[in-house]
Structures are given as C-alpha cells and as structure tokens.
Amino acid sequence: FSEENIPLHTELAKLGNEFDKVTGGMKADWDGEEKNQSQLQALLFDKDRSVRERAWKLSMALWQEKRPELNDIYQKMLALRVQIANNAGLTDYREYAFRAYNRFDYAPADSIRFHQAIEAVVVPAAQRIYEHKRLRLGLDAVRPWDVEVDSSSGQPLVPYSGQDELVQGSLNIFQHVDSTLARQFALMAEEGLLDLDTRPGKALGGYCSSLTWRQRPYIFMNGTGTHDDVQTMLHEAGHAFHAFECYSLPYIWQTDVPMEFCEVASMSMELLAAPYLRKEFDGFYSAADAARARIQHLSGIITFLPYMAVVDAFQHWVYTHPDLAMDSAACDETWGQLWDRFMRGVDWSGFEAERVSGWHRKLHIFQVPFYYIEYGMAQVGALQVWRNALDNQAEAVATYRNALKLGGTRSLPELYSAAGTAFRFDEQMLAGLVDLIERTLSQLDSVVE
C-alpha cells in the first residue's frame, strides 16, 4: 500500500471506463439490423462459411478502426502502473501484481516454465485438433472464421427450453455425480436462488455469488437454450458447491480462496458432470449430441491453453520492458511473435494487422493485468480431478469436496494436494493430461460418426 497510489488507481479506473466505452460502443450494420460485437461473435458458429467470414471481417474492421484510441488508453495505463510500482518501492509492475494477487506459492519463473511446457506439449495437440477440423470441414486451411464452428454435420445443440428444464436436467446430472451435491442444488432451486433465463433489462453475464449471512450461494445467468448455457450452469454450480462446503468455516476471511483453486471447483464440475449429459441419465442429449458437446468442451481446453500462454507471456514482456511497450508497434510485434510461437494451425495470411493487434481484443490486458494464468492452472487441477474420477468417482468426488471445505486456510499446493491433485505445470504433467483428452476425443468421435 502507498497513499500516493490512491489517485493513480482512480485514474486507472477512469481509463478502464474509457476502454469499456470504446469497446462496448462497437456496432455494425448486418442486413439492416444493428449488431454489437457479441452478436457478431455468435455468427462465427454458423454452418454457412460465407456468413462466418463476413461476420469475422466485420468484427475485425470495428477493432481496427479503434486502434489509435486503444493504443492511447493502454499507454496511459502502462505509465500509471509503472508509477504505482515505483511508489510501492518495487522493481516493476510484475512484482507489484504478484504481491497484489497474493501469489505466495509461485513466482514469475514458474509462469514462464508453464508457458514452455504448453509450447512443448499442448501446442502440437492444438495443431492436431485444427487439422482434424480442417479435414472434417473439407477445407484447404482453417481460417480465423472457422475456429468456433462445430465440424460435425449435426444441427446446433438445443438442450432445453426454459429455466425449469435447465434446473431439472442439471439436478438429474448432479444426482449421478454426488447425492449431497444434488441436494445442495435442489435447495437452491427450492429457495429461489437460481436466476437463469434471460429477460429484457437483465444485466449481462453469468456468475455465482454468496449470501453470506444466510449461508447460501446464488447463481445468475442469461440462458437462451444453448449448450453454452448448460456449461455455464455446471461451471457456476461448482462455485456454488464450493460455497456450501466453506460455510462450515468459523471466520468469513477463511472463505477467501485463491482464484487458482476457486476455478478448480468449477472446472472440475464441468468435467465430472460431462459423462451424464446423455438422456439415459435423464440429462439433455442423445448419445451422439452428448459426444458432440463433450468434444467441443475438451477440444476447447486444448486450444485455450496456448492462448492463455500468449496473454500471460505478453504481459510478462510488457511490464519488464515498459519503455519498449510504450510503442504500440513494439506491442504488435511482440504479440505477433508470441502468436506464431503458440497459436499454430490457423491460417491468418492476408490479415497481418488483425493478427498482431490481437492484444487489443483481450479485456484482461487492459483492465486486470496478469489475471489470466489462474484459468490455466485451475484447468490442470480440474483435469486431474477428472482423471481420478475415471478410476473411482465416489472417492475422487469425496476428496474434491474435502478440499473445498478448506476454503482459503491452506496454501495452493496444500489445496491441490487435498483435492488429490498436484500443483505442477511441467511437461510430464501436461503430457499425461493431453494424452487423456486425446484418447477421450477419439472415443467420442466414434460415437458422433
């Protein structure tokens, strides 16, 4: 803490509002209808490739138009963060951020080793996923507008209609994961603590919050009947179960859990619940559609980790080279080098400006620097929980729940260990998990076909 930094944080908040205003105001005409960035992104799932390409190019044009404004905002943010670190008597803003996030159990060098392990193990796996998609779609090359679309011949997944169906289907799934967790979810439904359907005027997003005095979690989302809504439900339920388990702790401060483990709770639940998406378990899908949903999820884990490494590595460079980073062209060059290093398998030829300016399109880089690697770490933990469950689900879930009960009373390595996992992010660890994912994807492919 430094009193000198209070007005600087205020200035950063104002600049954050400017970023939100610039990016939130991006709109384009689509056949006479105004669409924002979120609506354009939704078109990237369209089976018609010409629709996807048109939507992608329109979206990119909006971002390119705002490059000067975004560069100016970022340079002002960077200068403020450098000063904040100086005022706190620290070497650079990276050191400040690690202290501010209470990262006592790993250092920047550990993050770099994680990047290297991803490059060695996960990047080749992501390339295999993109190549599989290329072959399934019958393309000469996977282009940026082909990344999101489902490569199967099936129609878009429609798992449910209305909140009641989503709640009942989710409850059925949780019954197969663990009866105690299912009772907790049922209690939330009975007490009106699930606000899941979208409606006019409702705030965007989805999250799990906690009513601490009542000792109840609360889930808020904007469901419209898509598979993404099911994934959000399972994810946020994991956070809710974490809250239920933590309520036995005597002091509210003990429920402040590191994000690196909070997301283990939610990501693990997505994986633990996935085998029960099928209607034979009173879930949402036929066997083939459930396989498609799981392929989408597991493939996304593989392709996310290299992107996470780009985002995190970029910020390590920025805040250890702030003088260079004040030049937006240098930022573009570094982002482009990192993109080429980690994001292989998608052909960006002809769109160099869009490729190197991708850092503009990641909110975390502007608003919450260094807050992103947590998702990668948590995913590694969650995959280990899932692997344990494949051997003995009851034991794995009981171990997972016991770890959730610890709240924030243990270090990260101790929390991971309590969940039956290891706080490790080396090549050997990632190789085993990637092999498990790829073997599972192969099995699921045979169901879809």
Interval 65-83: pLDDT, tens: 999 999 999 999 999 999 9
Q: State the pLDDT confidence band at 440, using cuts at 50, 70 and 90.
A: very high
CB 237, CB 230: distance < 8 Å: no
Give me the DSSP letters along 12-81: HHHHHHHHHHHHHT-EEEETTEEEEHHHHHHGGG-S-HHHHHHHHHHHHHHHHHTHHHHHHHHHHHHHHH
Q: Tell me, what's the pLDDT at 231?
A: 95
Phi, psi of 123, deg, nearest 5: -55, -45
User: How many residues does this entry show for the chain?
Assistant: 449
- The whole-chain average pLDDT of the chain stands at 95
- Identify which of 338, 436, 337, 444 has the alpha carbon closest to the alpha carbon of residue 384: 436
More confident residue, 114 or 149: 114
- Identify which of 442, 438, 432 has the alpha carbon closest to the alpha carbon of residue 117: 432
Q: Tell me, what's the pLDDT at 200?
A: 81
Distance from C-alpha of 337 to C-alpha of 265, rounded to nearest angstrom: 34
pLDDT above 90 (res 338): yes
Secondary structure class of 95 (helix, strand, coil)? helix
Q: State the pLDDT confidence band at 334, using cuts at 50, 70 and 90.
A: very high
Phi, psi of 27, deg, nearest 5: -145, 150
Residues 243-297: tens digit of each pLDDT: 999 999 999 999 999 999 999 999 999 999 999 999 999 999 999 999 999 999 9
Q: Tell me, what's the pLDDT at 396?
A: 98
Average pLDDT of span 330-338:
98
Q: Tell me, what's the pLDDT at 349?
A: 97
Distance from C-alpha of 297 to C-alpha of 271, rounded to nearest angstrom: 9
CB 78, CB 325: distance < 8 Å: yes
* pTM over the 0.85 mark: yes
Cross-strand bridge partners of residue 219: 194, 208
Residues 180-233: tens digit of each pLDDT: 999 999 999 999 999 999 888 777 678 999 999 999 999 999 888 889 899 999
**Percentage with pLDDT > 90 across the chain:** 88
Average pLDDT of span 8-32:
92
**How do beta strands 27-30 and 194-197 pair?**
unpaired
pLDDT above 90 (res 37): no
Residues 228-257: tens digit of each pLDDT: 899 999 999 999 999 999 999 999 999 999
Q: Tell me, what's the pLDDT at 38?
A: 79
Distance from C-alpha of 111 to C-alpha of 376, rounded to nearest angstrom: 10
